[in-house]
Structure 1
């Protein structure tokens, strides 16, 4: 509480007048230090500490106050709360009145302020604030609390493919949740829910749901998530099953589910960053059974759509390719002229192994021709070897907007001897794709996936490939396609390729250049070299796709 000399003089005069008139009124300030003042000081501090228990215990109805203050402190999630008790007046009948100025600092320079009126009474336990919801906000109904919410402009940005068509959009997802504690017949609920969701989720049988519950320790589980547009296909209303609730959630989803790709994790991160940067905020009153009422805030502007370099047809070709083999397999396709990512796919086995396009793996014999020419030109000069590697996109890392970092990239080992050996290097699919682009165009460029946002290179300089290196690797790739390991491939007109493994257990690689595209296949497990060739062959033999 803050007092001024002028206010103390007025207070003293008022107290004297009241005493002379034998009136039942009074006032207090710092000089009087009454019990009411001390209690209000504690009340002020408890709110500033955002301590719902301490705040509630200083009121006349701790249980009701506890509910409101706990919900408000959690809902506002303030960085800081400043409270100022003002215009405090104490009366000789054991009551007092005051004004509460509360300033909520909500982050990002957002601030919300209330000025409310309150009263206090001297009870057998001491002075207590008379509890009423209006202490939090004027005219707040019983059971109400405050919260700050994020607001987003509509419509939400979409993610577009390279032709400008929508590929991912924000949609409402219905999470169907089963709580075993909310039903008296869990077996009956499991069976009924399985029947209702069967048209969309044939694999989620009663046994599967029972295992979900067991794995969760019989806590609530999300049995399945269904898009709003698909709810009509269900064989009934899941919420009609005892113990089942539907929790709606906005989520960025693919319009064509077949295009599922690990690259979309990073694209969604980029989309979310735009969404966050353009979001607004609001402080609302929340009362059970009533719509929220906005007290303050501002709406942010709509965010721009995110255009990517992804080509849906190439994505589908890549999907056909990686499911050709049962072992972990992934493929990355980039534009041979620009380095833009056209497709990135992995099969279920690769997803289970967490294979990504930016993790570093050993290249083995795949880079044998690269090692030969670099060792011949660089000799024992480490710096020169590193420079020649970087020109090919090797021995460096890439930071690509729209690609979620998942591990180390192509960091060159400092192992001795100085002579460069492929086994000393770890390369990612991004490194190998950049190598292909460098050979295709004569100089290297960082890969990218978000239109207008070029990739960045770390650990070396890209640029024009040394002519001797370019000639040697180009010849090796042509020989591999004509007479080497890739010579049996069909539909491979104009193909240049590097093929190799790192021993019997792999991994196996295939780096191909054909026309305006570079594609990189990565496989793991036994006979991974043959698997990489099988994936490459399937990619070279695309089939028509239903749109």
Structure 2
């Protein structure tokens, strides 16, 4: 690198006789024993490695520089940084000037380039860059930094019901976070927080908060997430409780706060994928008391709304039915012709148990008529497997907008005829109900459940397909008998009902699969007398639908 030498100002004329020699030989030694240029280059090399501490050692204020550089490096979170030294000039009075060209690199060929300048001084410890925030970016204020952020187009997509009305949309929320490390009396903080939240979230008791803390020892926990209108109901500010902070953010939430569903996670994942695909980026200059200033970035148009098959009124009905019993209960409704998911709900006991769309559970005696018909219709082991797949039981469904990624998921359905142990998900049972309902109308074929319009469900570990009439007719007959004179005969308000009912022993679980009124209803309950509980949920549904 060429080092240019310029004469010092008149104030330093007394040194003129040796100025050239001093400049060319860089009298005094830098941290690397070289010139101003080599010290500046060492600073740039440390930035290339994103090592703020190492870079700060080449400045006149390592503490301040280290903190400022670290803040920008963390805020920019670049995959790669290229900093080059431009036009370093060393003066005979022991000072130097230079420019820095910095290019920040991210994925997808995104780049941001800056040119900044600074000065250096020769001290007893060698050449040091005179620390100013402008070394990072021109005119950067004290305490300022650069940051790269993700940007999302506005307005954000909405999740729409089958009628086109808003089902879910992005709303501002407040995360109420308790950090045990920020309070000297955790027990008192827990009690105070519970009292503060009581007007709007009475179920978030001191005991509930304590259990969260116990499950996450020493770590901050989110006690509750409140919408903006909820905050106005509170009689005091939770942020004033020692150890508590209120974090502003946004979430995809139900428009009708009376509604909740196991489908929320899957729909949120699908919605988030749209946001991710249409996300933009922005580099900002930020500083204390300053509005963030955009320096660079791109943003595309907003993504499309998510059109679903969910019936909002039916969703409310399913929620009312699920809370009929004091044990885990989950209820799913599908269109009996197309397999469209119309809604899904669960009570708080099922939420605590983590019962979801993809979980597999023992079916017990509920599928006895189905398995019996398969045994009679099958000619060999391969045919038996094909038949159970075609009924939707032996396959795995990945339903866009419903299924969520799960580590170690063993498969949505497993069937082992040798042991007589059969497991299925609620989606499998729903697909079975739809296949039987279609067959009763002369459509001898199965279809996959789906919830986002126009987005097909992925079927793996087997194939759906045509169903032999000899297989489905005995099952339909058994279902009619169950509804007329069997376990489901006490149900009222369900004309033409066909049903499968059964449990997996005294401790359950219990199942109900019903075909009625153009819909398939699947109910799953756990605990003692879970078969009876499933029928109670079914009766509540038929009473209020």
- TM over 0.5, shorter chain: yes
1:487 is matched with 489
- Alignment check: 8 A CA contact 2:413 2:428 kept: no
The equivalences for 1:129-148 within 5 A come to 129-148=129-148
More moved, 279-288 vs 34-43: 34-43
* Secondary structure of the corresponding residue to residue 375 of structure 1: helix
348 and 487 in structure 1: CA distance in 2 versus 1, 3 angstrom threshold: same
Give CA-to-partner distance per residue, 1:97-129, whole Å, 9 cap, x none.
Answer: 222111111223211111111222221112211
Distance, in Å, in 2 between the alignment partners of 1:168 and 1:100 is 48
2:462 is matched with 460
- Alignment check: 8 A CA contact 1:325 1:531 kept: yes
- Alignment check: 8 A CA contact 2:332 2:343 kept: yes
Distance, in Å, in 1 between the alignment partners of 2:315 and 2:446 is 24
1:427 is matched with 424
230 and 354 in structure 1: CA distance in 2 versus 1, 3 angstrom threshold: closer
1:59 is matched with 59
- Alignment check: 8 A CA contact 1:27 1:88 kept: no
* Secondary structure of the corresponding residue to residue 366 of structure 1: helix
212 and 459 in structure 1: CA distance in 2 versus 1, 3 angstrom threshold: closer
Give CA-to-partner distance per residue, 1:47-106, whole Å, 9 cap, x none.
Answer: 011111111111111111111111111101111111111212223332222221111112
- Alignment check: 8 A CA contact 1:28 1:37 kept: no
CA shift at 1:201, angstroms?
2.9
CA shift at 1:239, angstroms?
4.7
73 and 397 in structure 1: CA distance in 2 versus 1, 3 angstrom threshold: same
CA shift at 1:396, angstroms?
0.5
1:341 is matched with 341
1:316 is matched with 316
160 and 179 in structure 1: CA distance in 2 versus 1, 3 angstrom threshold: same
Pairs aligned (count): 524
- Alignment check: 8 A CA contact 2:413 2:425 kept: no
211 and 528 in structure 1: CA distance in 2 versus 1, 3 angstrom threshold: closer
Distance, in Å, in 1 between the alignment partners of 2:219 and 2:421 is 49
CA shift at 1:300, angstroms?
2.5
Q: TM-score, normalised by structure 2?
A: 0.88
2:531 is matched with 529
- Alignment check: 8 A CA contact 2:6 2:92 kept: no
Give CA-to-partner distance per residue, 1:167-214, whole Å, 9 cap, x none.
Answer: 211111123445677678988877776665443234456776677778
CA shift at 1:232, angstroms?
2.5
Give CA-to-partner distance per residue, 1:353-397, whole Å, 9 cap, x none.
Answer: 111122122222212122222222223x22211211111101110
531 and 315 in structure 1: CA distance in 2 versus 1, 3 angstrom threshold: same
* Secondary structure of the corresponding residue to residue 439 of structure 1: helix
The equivalences for 1:26-45 within 5 A come to 26=23, 34-45=34-45
310 and 72 in structure 1: CA distance in 2 versus 1, 3 angstrom threshold: same
1:261 is matched with 261
* Secondary structure of the corresponding residue to residue 450 of structure 1: coil
* Secondary structure of the corresponding residue to residue 425 of structure 1: strand
CA shift at 1:289, angstroms?
1.7
Give CA-to-partner distance per residue, 1:286-325, whole Å, 9 cap, x none.
Answer: 1112111111111221121112111122112211222121
Are 1:283 and 2:283 an aligned pair? yes
- Alignment check: 8 A CA contact 1:409 1:427 kept: no
- Alignment check: 8 A CA contact 2:336 2:518 kept: yes
488 and 184 in structure 1: CA distance in 2 versus 1, 3 angstrom threshold: closer
Distance, in Å, in 1 between the alignment partners of 2:127 and 2:104 is 26
The equivalences for 1:220-235 within 5 A come to 222-235=222-235
Q: TM-score, normalised by structure 1?
A: 0.88
Distance, in Å, in 2 between the alignment partners of 1:185 and 1:364 is 51
37 and 344 in structure 1: CA distance in 2 versus 1, 3 angstrom threshold: same
- Alignment check: 8 A CA contact 1:183 1:189 kept: yes
Give CA-to-partner distance per residue, 1:482-515, whole Å, 9 cap, x none.
Answer: 2221122111211111111222222211110002
Distance, in Å, in 2 between the alignment partners of 1:300 and 1:109 is 16
More moved, 182-191 vs 297-306: 182-191
More moved, 143-152 vs 367-376: 367-376
Distance, in Å, in 1 between the alignment partners of 2:397 and 2:179 is 45
Distance, in Å, in 2 between the alignment partners of 1:205 and 1:427 is 36
Give CA-to-partner distance per residue, 1:249-290, whole Å, 9 cap, x none.
Answer: 111111212211111101001111111111111111111121
The equivalences for 1:329-368 within 5 A come to 329-368=329-368
- Alignment check: 8 A CA contact 1:480 1:498 kept: yes
More moved, 96-105 vs 206-215: 206-215
Superposition RMSD on alpha carbons, in Å? 3.0
- Alignment check: 8 A CA contact 1:146 1:285 kept: yes
364 and 318 in structure 1: CA distance in 2 versus 1, 3 angstrom threshold: same
134 and 28 in structure 1: CA distance in 2 versus 1, 3 angstrom threshold: farther
1:293 is matched with 293
Are 1:127 and 2:124 an aligned pair? no
Distance, in Å, in 1 between the alignment partners of 2:497 and 2:198 is 47
- Alignment check: 8 A CA contact 2:41 2:84 kept: no
Q: Which runs of 5+ in 2 are unaligned?
A: 8-14, 27-31, 440-444
Q: Which runs of 5+ in 1 are unaligned?
A: none
